[in-house]
Every structure is written in C-alpha cells, then in structure tokens.
Amino acid sequence: MIKINNLTKKFGSHVSLDNVTCEFSKNDSVALMGANGAGKTTLIRSILGYYHPDSGNVLVNGFCPIKERVKVLQDISFVPQLPPPIKLSIDELMSYVVVSSDVDKELILHYANEMKLNIKDNINKSFFKLSGGMKQKLLIAISLAKKSDIIIFDEPTANLDPDARDDFYRLVKLNSSEKTTLFVTHRLEEVKELVNRQIYMDLGKVVSDERV
C-alpha cells in the first residue's frame, strides 16, 4: 500500500530522512518509534505528500502523494502530533470534512460520543478554544469516521486522560482490520497489543524493523 524508496529529505544541511526504504502493506499495524528528532513526523508528512524529497520517492497505492494528492488522501486518515489552532467552529470543521471527504456526519458524532466528547454543547465553539484533550478526541473521531484504508496517528494520545486512551485503543482495534495503521509513539507498552510490527528510527534512518 505504501512504498518508500530511498527517500532522503534535508532541511538546509540537516538530513531529516536519510535514504529510507520501507514498505507498509494491508493488515500492517505499525509502532513507529525513535528519539525526539529521529524523523518520524518527517516520514509521515512525506507519505502525506507535504514534502518535496531531495531524492527517492513515496508511492501510496501506486500513486505519488504530491502529484495525485486527491486520490492518495481519499484513502488516508491522519491525526497530527499537535492539534492546530484552527479557528473554524466545530460545526464548520465537520462540514469541511463531510464535504471534502464524503464522510458521514453522523459517524463523526458517533465516534465523538464513543470518545466521550460532548459535541452538542460545543458545536459553535471555535476549535482552538477546546481543551487539548478535547481537540484530540475530535480529530480522532474524524479520522475514524473517514473510513480510510490507511490510518496514521502521530502521537494521538499525548493529551488524553487514561480513560480516553482506553477508549481510543478500543475504537482503533475495532476499526483496524484490513487496513494499514501507523502509530507514532514513545510508549510501546500502550500499543503493544495492537501492533504487529515495530520500527525504530534514529537520525533519519530506520534502525530496526521487526514483526512481532
């Protein structure tokens, strides 16, 4: 599903991804780990087509995520490392997703409810005025409602309380069959039960990649 071939990405003289080659297929559930600054977020952003690589390439279902971004992103759900300060209200943000990605709004509400996020009382609130954990819950609900074949979570549980984490892992487990799931995480024990593959990165390289 995702093929990364000899991918190198530099920022100035700093090499953030150093000749990375890697493949993720259907039913892979991956824990992507490594020290701060190892290049995990850079790798994920490359899969989403945000970076123009210095060399190498990425193919998602055979398509280049930069040239065919619409096709590629139809099949990807993504939760970023930090919820951004989006000024749209929750209602507007949901219509953005519903219209652009053909997502069922009821489904977002359903997953938000499962994440114990009270949308009704906040529907006209600006997204950036929600608490950190509430933001993350909404983004998680959206990512699950989007029903993509590829789901990418860049440390989605950073702001969640323990109960919310349990909710999150329960929902992901229910929704990850026949998919490719990537968890960027610093806490392997949390995702250990969910993943069947563990990848460590360091200094822009994949240093270990094992199936468990």
Partner 1 sequence: MRANKSDFGIKNLYLIAYLDLKESIRAKWFLVYSLVFGGLIALFFIAGVTESQVMGFSGLSRLLLMYIQITIIILPIFILITTVRSISGDRDNNILEYMLSFPISLKQYYWGKIIGRFITVYLPVFFAMIIAVIFGAIKGADIPWSIFFLYTGLLFALSSAFLGIAFFISSFVKSSEVALGIAFFIWIFLLSFIDIALISLMMQGRFPSSLIISIAMMNPMEVFRVAAISLFDPELTVMGPVAFYILDAMNRALFIIFSIGYPLVLGLIFATFGFVIFKKKDLV
Measured from the CB atom, is 84 or 208 closer to partner 1?
Answer: 84
Q: Is 50 among the residues that bind ligand ATP (CB under 6 A)?
A: no
Q: Is 34 among the residues that bind ligand ATP (CB under 6 A)?
A: yes
Reduced to 3 states (helix: H, G, I; strand: E, B; else coil), residue 162 is helix
Torsion, CA 40, CA 127, CA 76, CA 195, rounded to 10: 50
Q: Which residues bind partner 1 (CB under 8 A)?
A: 45, 48-52, 69-74, 76, 78, 80, 82-88, 92, 95-97, 99-102, 139
For ligand ATP, which stretch binds (CB under 6 A), given 10-18, 63-71, 83-91, 175-183? 10-18
Q: Is 37 among the residues that bind ligand ATP (CB under 6 A)?
A: yes
Minimum gap (Å) between residue 9 Cβ and ligand ATP: 8
* Whole-number Å distance between alpha carbons of 34 and 39: 8
Minimum gap (Å) between residue 154 Cβ and Mg ion: 6
Give how many residues touch ligand ATP by CB under 6 A: 12
Measured from the CB atom, is 177 or 208 closer to ligand ATP?
Answer: 208
Measured from the CB atom, is 69 or 187 closer to partner 1?
Answer: 69
Phi and psi based region of residue 49 (left: phi greater than 0; alpha: psi -120 to 50; beta: remaining): left
The answer to whether 49 touches 211, Cβ cutoff 8 Å, is no
Question: 88 vs 92, 97, 126, 127, 130, CA distance in Å?
Answer: 6, 12, 5, 6, 12
Reduced to 3 states (helix: H, G, I; strand: E, B; else coil), residue 90 is helix
Measured from the CB atom, is 81 or 95 closer to Mg ion?
Answer: 81
| Residue appearing with tokens 């590629």 | 72
The 10 Å Cβ neighbour count of residue 12 is 5
- Contact pick of 29, 42, 136, 157 for ligand ATP (by CB under 6 A): 42
User: 132 touches which of Mg ion, partner 1, ligand ATP, none (CB within 5 to 8 A by kind)?
Assistant: none
Q: Is 41 among the residues that bind Mg ion (CB under 5 A)?
A: yes
**In the window 86-145, what residues touch Mg ion (CB under 5 A)?**
none
Sheet holding 76-79, edge to edge: 76-79, 150-154, 180-184, 29-34, 197-202, 205-211
Minimum gap (Å) between residue 139 Cβ and Mg ion: 15
